[in-house]
Amino acid sequence: MTIDFRAEVDKRKDDLMEDLFGLLRINSERDDSKVDEQHPFGPGPVKALEHFLALAKRDGYKTRNIDNYAGDFEFGQGDEVLGIFAHLDVVPAGSGWDTDPYEPVIKDGKLYARGSSDDKGPTMACYYALKIIKELNLPVSKRVRFIVGTDEESGWDDMAYYFAHNGLKDPDFGFSPDAEFPIINGEKGNITAYLHFEGQNDGAFSLVSFNGGLRENMVPESASAGFTGPITLQELEAKLANFAADQGVTGQVTEEAGAFHVTIHGKSVHGMMPQKGINGATYLALFLSQFDFQGNAQAYLNVIAETLHKDFFGEKVGLAYTDPKMGELTMNAGVFHFNKESEDNTIALNFRYPQGVDVDGIKAGLEKLEGPKEVTLSEHGHVPHYVPVSDPMVQTLLSVYEKHTGLKGEEQIIGGGTFGRLLKRGVAYGAMFPGYVNTMHQADEFTEVEDLYRAAAIYAEAIYELIK
């Protein structure tokens, strides 16, 4: 049986885009201030989950909502189960958008919206791929379980809860449409370390507050500080203008009630590749380090400006390491909180590490730094993950990719973490193509509309080849 999967996608292009627009209009950022028993990560992720499951129910699937943490539905029959893992939550939109991040718009063939590429766009492409197989009534010998989570961008508590409470045996193999083609069959480990500082400080200059970053897995797009000191607003403005011009950043300073407030803007990117962003927080600390801060403020700023600034690979902290297969360790200084009245001020460092590195070694290395009173590690983390390229599932996925693109399918290992690593035989597969512009976790996130249709055709044939 020969099926033109791309032609089948084209028949459904308008429907796919209509369903995707509805999902993109939902602000599904995690909001801990609104967490309750019915909303484990806030109202937005739940709303997105309910919306997606309603689409699946409309299309004839028997859906399950696992206590608003995650949802699933199954298709097909057979003992073996192919798992497809996607997520409906998004990172905060942040600032700097030319469009409304939650009002999707297509311009010059690009679909702009938060979640368009990570991961609502790929999720919908994969959903329509399975929809094609179902509507064509193609014969299958395995089951597909389509699983959507709501906390992938934070702690993965959605999947921890799902695996503990869904009541079914785990899928035998699977993939996540949350990365890039041709395949991601290896992922680095992922852990966040927290440097803890006290707040009280005295000196000619006194640091009142320092805040930057929205998520540990994002390079801070901007950061702001409040402080007092023997300097005029005009002098500060001149110093900031010179600093901004020299460093290639932007910023502003204001004065209110005897205190100065400085903000510096950089550029946010995904925390797995911090070297491609401009960390507004480390630049802010570098600017402030010229002033006479003392005590805890000086310790806090010195660690950032002298050690963390532009140290993307852990070199200054003695943690640099490169594995021949998985590549180098990366370090993203992601979230900063300092308040003069607090006894626990923090810097969150997100590490993506290859095989050959262990988290205890990361903690021990950071404990050698001067300044922090304590170093702790996040409760959640992931060890390095790898599925051999010889695995039959990997070979099938690469073969379908090659057929549709004419490009060579090769294994890839990334610093990002996807739901593909939830299974021993799990990988990430699409939906971004080689040469794409990566705007995940950035302002003006977009995906190429044509790429979504191409991906849907690849997903349809790949799923069918795996379960027929």
Report which secondary-structure segment, H or E, holds 264.
Answer: strand 259-265
Among 152, 187, 198, 445, the active-site one is 152
Q: How many CA atoms lie within 13 A of 310 on its CB side?
A: 5
Distance between CA atoms of residues 17 and 111, nearest Å: 10
Distance between CA atoms of residues 1 and 17, nearest Å: 28
Whether residue 382 contacts residue 187, with contact meaning beta carbons closer than 8 Å, is answered with yes
First to last CA, the chain: 11
Tokens 């900031």 belong to residue: 240
Whether residue 94 contacts residue 443, with contact meaning beta carbons closer than 8 Å, is answered with yes
Which runs of E-coded beta strand occur in 324-433?
327-328, 330-339, 345-353, 374-377, 385-386, 413-414, 426-428, 431-432
Distance between CA atoms of residues 28 and 22, nearest Å: 12
Number of H-type helices and E-type strands within the chain: 11, 24
Cis peptide leading into residue 125 (ω within 30°): no
Burial call 383-416: b when 16+ CB within 10 Å, e when fewer: ebbbbebeeebbeebbebbeebeeeebebbbbbb
Which runs of E-coded beta strand occur in 329-451?
330-339, 345-353, 374-377, 385-386, 413-414, 426-428, 431-432, 446-448
User: How many CB atoms within 10 Å of residue 202?
Assistant: 12
As a whole number of angstroms, the longest Cα–Cα distance in the chain is 80
Closest CA to 264 of 213, 200, 340, 208: 213
Rg (CA), the chain: 24
Q: What secondary structure does DSSP assign to 76-89, as a single string?
A: E-SS-EEEEEEE--
Among 89, 151, 178, 451, the active-site one is 89
Catalytic status, residue 152? yes
Closest CA to 207 of 299, 278, 138: 299
Catalytic status, residue 89? yes
Residues annotated as catalytic are: 89, 152
